[in-house]
């Protein structure tokens, strides 16, 4: 059986109402029945006594007259009274006069004593009197069966009343308990809804103003609080998550940035290492080439002199021609080395690369052969650049030759010019022009790409390449203030992107270098050169051209020579870099006393070093060693022919 506390409130209330009403009914009934039982005993007794008195009165004459028949007749009146079991009349002397009912168990003699109840019987002793005089005694025995019948009847009535009461109470309880349990059940339902759905906008309905109403109110305010806390919690949680996400993204970005920075740093390091390597190699190559140049200057100079002296029919003339050819090849090689090492003196001009490319087109086609298609894709919007046209030609030729060699079975070379080409990253920040040379050849692997610009690095068969082509290109680009980039993959072809800065203002000067016939002169030229062989060679060239030549080993010696010479010196031809007093200082000193003195500088060093010595190549006549004797003669004549213009020669810092 379930415990009362475990039952539902409905059942509990019902049980309580039923139990209470049942108990109340029962106790009321018990009291009534008990009271009835007690009073009805008394009543029975009283009634029996009254009856006895009546009978006694009625029978007193019969007793007095000892008339048993009449007495019996009087007693027979008891027939009409229920529950009388028997009666007996005694005479005055105590003998029996008359009987009623069963004679058995009647007392034979009157017993002194009161009326009493014994064994469920009422026993009445009544004296029969006539005018206060006792004439006999009446004994009546009455059964209490009626009493117990009545008792049981009462019980039955009570039971019936109880049953009916409960029958009435049950539906009443069912109805009444709803008044209490209705709001409770609703509250419970609301609670279940709230528990099963996260949506806490549900509210309990307040139906009454009693404690249950207060409970509903409390429940609702609790829900509101819970909702608010939930919202706050969710907000805090969301906020936290968002912050974690943000921080995570931030961290990832930081990690990425750091990675990128590390990668960039590594790339920069590699570039630095590469640049240092190139620099070292360049320095070495430059040093060697410089000395070579001087030697070649001598070789070529003397050979040239020999050739002018000798009859062309002389077999030695032919030998000397061969010497000259070989010397020129060596000079070319040296020039390339110098270009790579950036020690070449550039002679930059403002030039349109499109024009240059177009001019080169014919020559390039011849160079690359018929198996390879050449396409020019020229951007007409490009602006002029300032560069040495010969160097740029050299650069394009080298790239074209490399492209050709990458395509032994034929293919296509595309030369493209673009203004500020957006397709080429990491270019200059200033306006620039990009020249791209693409081929459809075999491409390069990473190892090849890493060493590509190093001098004497070659993938060609021994004897087919010098290993200087691309290093020359590199040197030219760097020296021209540009950048070079390479896109190449194995079997996908190769593209070189060369980016050169544009000329800031249109200082397009028409350089009208007159192709005049070589002319000598009779002017006096002061030749200053620390290298004896070169000086000798140059003196020979100049003297053969008709000039009078004074010579000196260095600047100081030259000053002394001038002091001792009492004539007019028309032109100073001087080396820039000399151990004792360089060309620049010498020229300034001499021009101090003779402002119209013309000066031509010579150097085997690069532009940078020349500029260091105060020589601005744009303004001053300059010869880059090694130079051809004809170039010297032409240069000297050109300078001497310029009208005396003090401003033009007294420039400088």
Partner 1 sequence: MRTFTVVAALLASALRAHAQDRAGAREHEIKAAFLLNFARYTEWPRNAFESDDAPFTIAVVGKDPFGADLDAMLKDKRVAGRPIRVVRFEKAADVRPCHLVFVARSERDSLSAVVDAAKDRPSLVVGETDGFIGKGGAVNFYLEGDKVRIEVGPDVVERHGLRMSSKLLRLARIVKGK
Name which of residues 76 to 115 contact partner 1 (CB under 8 A): 95, 108-109
The 10 Å Cβ neighbour count of residue 394 is 19
Residue count (the chain): 653
Give whichever of 70 and 549 is closer to partner 1, judged by the CB atom.
Answer: 70
> Does 287 contact partner 1 by CB under 8 A?
no
> Does 10 contact partner 1 by CB under 8 A?
no
Structure tokens at 191: 């609670």
Name which of residues 187 to 226 contact partner 1 (CB under 8 A): none
> Does 645 contact partner 1 by CB under 8 A?
no
Nearest approach in angstroms of CB 53 to partner 1 is 14
> Does 129 contact partner 1 by CB under 8 A?
no
Provide the mask over 319-358, with x wherever binding to partner 1 is found by CB under 8 A and - wherever it is not: ----------------------------------------
Q: What percentage of the chain's residues is helix, strand, coil (to nearest 5)?
A: 55, 15, 30
DSSP of 168-184, one letter per residue? HHHHHHHHHHHHHHHHH
Given the rule CB under 8 A, which of 66-74, 180-188, 268-276, 536-544 is the region that contacts partner 1? Answer: 66-74
Single out the residue of 346, 348, 448, 339 nearest to residue 397, CA to CA: 339
Q: Are 81 and 54 in contact, with CB atoms under 8 Å apart?
A: no
**Which residues neighbour 363 within 8 Å (Cβ) at sequence distance 6 or greater?**
397
Given the rule CB under 8 A, which of 61-69, 173-181, 253-261, 327-335 is the region that contacts partner 1? Answer: 61-69
d(CA 94, CA 397): 180
Nearest approach in angstroms of CB 37 to partner 1 is 34
Sign of the Cα pseudo-torsion (359, 362, 365, 367, in order): negative
> Does 428 contact partner 1 by CB under 8 A?
no
Give whichever of 62 and 298 is closer to partner 1, judged by the CB atom.
Answer: 62
User: Contacting partner 1 (CB under 8 A), which of 36, 53, 66, 379?
Assistant: 66
> Does 61 contact partner 1 by CB under 8 A?
yes
Nearest approach in angstroms of CB 115 to partner 1 is 22
Give whichever of 134 and 265 is closer to partner 1, judged by the CB atom.
Answer: 134
Nearest approach in angstroms of CB 84 to partner 1 is 21
Give whichever of 135 and 337 is closer to partner 1, judged by the CB atom.
Answer: 135
> Does 53 contact partner 1 by CB under 8 A?
no
Given the rule CB under 8 A, which of 30-38, 54-62, 140-148, 181-189 is the region that contacts partner 1? Answer: 54-62
β-pairing verdict for 493-501 and 432-439:
antiparallel
Nearest approach in angstroms of CB 123 to partner 1 is 18
User: Contacting partner 1 (CB under 8 A), which of 62, 437, 477, 623?
Assistant: 62
The 10 Å Cβ neighbour count of residue 137 is 25
Q: Are 375 and 315 in contact, with CB atoms under 8 Å apart?
A: no
> Does 506 contact partner 1 by CB under 8 A?
no
**Number of residues this chain uses to bind partner 1 (CB under 8 A):** 14
Given the rule CB under 8 A, which of 55-63, 424-432, 499-507, 613-621 is the region that contacts partner 1? Answer: 55-63
d(CA 472, CA 87): 167
User: Contacting partner 1 (CB under 8 A), which of 6, 119, 131, 564?
Assistant: 131
Structure tokens at 534: 């070169």
Nearest approach in angstroms of CB 167 to partner 1 is 57
Give whichever of 71 and 498 is closer to partner 1, judged by the CB atom.
Answer: 71
Q: What is the dihedral of CA 638, 641, 643, 649, to 10 degrees?
A: 40
Give whichever of 64 and 379 is closer to partner 1, judged by the CB atom.
Answer: 64
Given the rule CB under 8 A, which of 57-65, 519-527, 548-556, 581-589 is the region that contacts partner 1? Answer: 57-65
Helices and strands of the chain, counted as H and E runs: 15, 17
Q: Are 397 and 364 in contact, with CB atoms under 8 Å apart?
A: yes
Within a 13 Å sphere around the CA of 316, how many CA atoms are in the beta-carbon half?
9
> Does 65 contact partner 1 by CB under 8 A?
yes
Q: Are 413 and 365 in contact, with CB atoms under 8 Å apart?
A: no
d(CA 147, CA 153): 9
Structure tokens at 588: 């300034």
Given the rule CB under 8 A, which of 56-64, 461-469, 484-492, 545-553 is the region that contacts partner 1? Answer: 56-64
Q: How far apart are the first and last CA of the chain?
A: 122
Burial class (CB in 10 A: 0-12, 13-18, 19+), 511: exposed
The residues that touch partner 1, with contacts defined as CB under 8 A, are 58, 60-62, 64-67, 70, 95, 108-109, 130-131
């Amino acid at each position: 059986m379930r415990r009362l506390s475990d039952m539902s409130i409905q059942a509990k209330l019902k049980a309580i109402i039923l139990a209470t009403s049942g108990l109340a009914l029962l106790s009321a009934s018990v009291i009534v029945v008990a009271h009835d039982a007690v009073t009805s005993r008394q009543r029975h007794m009283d009634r029996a006594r009254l009856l006895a008195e009546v009978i006694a009165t009625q029978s007193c004459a019969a007793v007095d007259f000892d008339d048993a028949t009449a007495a019996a007749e009087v007693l027979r009146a008891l027939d009409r009274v229920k529950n009388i079991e028997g009666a007996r009349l005694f005479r005055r002397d105590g003998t029996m006069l008359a009987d009623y009912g069963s004679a058995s168990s009647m007392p034979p003699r009157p017993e002194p004593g009161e009326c009493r109840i014994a064994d469920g019987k009422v026993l009445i002793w009544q004296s029969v009197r006539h005018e206060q005089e006792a004439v006999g005694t009446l004994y009546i025995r009455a059964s209490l069966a009626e009493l117990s019948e009545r008792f049981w009847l009462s019980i039955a009535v009570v039971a019936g009343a109880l049953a009916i009461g409960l029958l009435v109470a049950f539906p009443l309880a069912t109805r009444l308990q709803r008044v209490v349990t209705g709001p409770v059940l609703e509250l419970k339902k609301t609670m279940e809804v709230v528990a099963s759905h996260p949506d806490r906008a549900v509210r309990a309905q307040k139906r009454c103003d009693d404690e249950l109403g207060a409970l509903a109110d409390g429940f609702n305010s609790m829900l509101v609080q819970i909702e608010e806390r939930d919202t706050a919690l969710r907000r805090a949680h969301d906020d936290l998550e968002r912050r974690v996400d943000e921080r995570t993204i931030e961290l990832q970005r930081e990690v990425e940035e750091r990675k990128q920075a590390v990668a960039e740093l590594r790339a920069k390091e590699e570039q630095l290492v590469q640049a240092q390597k190139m620099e070292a190699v360049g320095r070495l190559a430059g040093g060697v080439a410089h000395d070579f140049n001087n030697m070649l200057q001598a070789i070529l100079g003397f050979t040239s002199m020999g050739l002018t002296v000798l009859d062309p029919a002389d077999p030695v003339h032919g030998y000397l021609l061969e010497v000259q050819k070989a010397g020129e090849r060596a000079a070319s090689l040296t020039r390339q080395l110098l270009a790579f090492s950036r020690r070449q003196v550039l002679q930059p001009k403002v030039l349109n690369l499109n024009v240059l490319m177009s001019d080169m087109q014919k020559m390039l086609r011849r160079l690359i052969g018929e198996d390879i298609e050449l396409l020019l894709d020229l951007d007409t919007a490009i602006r002029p650049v300032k560069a040495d046209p010969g160097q740029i030609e050299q650069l394009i030729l080298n790239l074209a030759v490399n492209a050709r060699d990458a395509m032994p079975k034929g293919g296509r070379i595309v030369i493209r010019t673009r203004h500020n080409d957006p397709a080429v990253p990491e270019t200059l920040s200033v306006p620039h022009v990009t020249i791209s040379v693409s081929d459809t050849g075999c491409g390069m692997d990473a190892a090849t790409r890493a060493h590509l610009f190093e001098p004497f690095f070659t993938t060609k068969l021994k004897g087919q390449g010098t290993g200087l082509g691309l290093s020359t290109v590199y040197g030219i680009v760097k020296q021209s203030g540009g950048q070079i980039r390479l896109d190449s993959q194995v079997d996908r072809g190769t593209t070189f992107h060369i980016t050169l800065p544009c000329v800031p203002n249109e200082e397009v000067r028409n350089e009208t270098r007159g192709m005049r016939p070589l002319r000598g002169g009779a002017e006096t030229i002061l030749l200053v050169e620390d290298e004896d062989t070169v000086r000798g060679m140059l003196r020979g060239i100049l003297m053969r051209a008709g000039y009078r030549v004074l010579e000196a080993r260095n600047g100081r010696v030259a000053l002394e020579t001038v002091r001792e010479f009492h004539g007019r010196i028309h032109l100073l031809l001087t080396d820039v870099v000399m151990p004792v007093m360089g060309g620049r200082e010498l020229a300034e000193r001499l021009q101090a006393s003779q402002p119209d003195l013309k000066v031509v500088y010579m150097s085997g060093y690069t532009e940078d070093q020349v500029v260091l010595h105060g020589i601005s190549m744009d303004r001053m006549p300059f010869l880059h060693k090694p130079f051809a004797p004809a170039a010297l003669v032409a240069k000297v004549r050109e300078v001497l022919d310029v009208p005396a213009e003090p401003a033009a020669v007294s420039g400088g810092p």
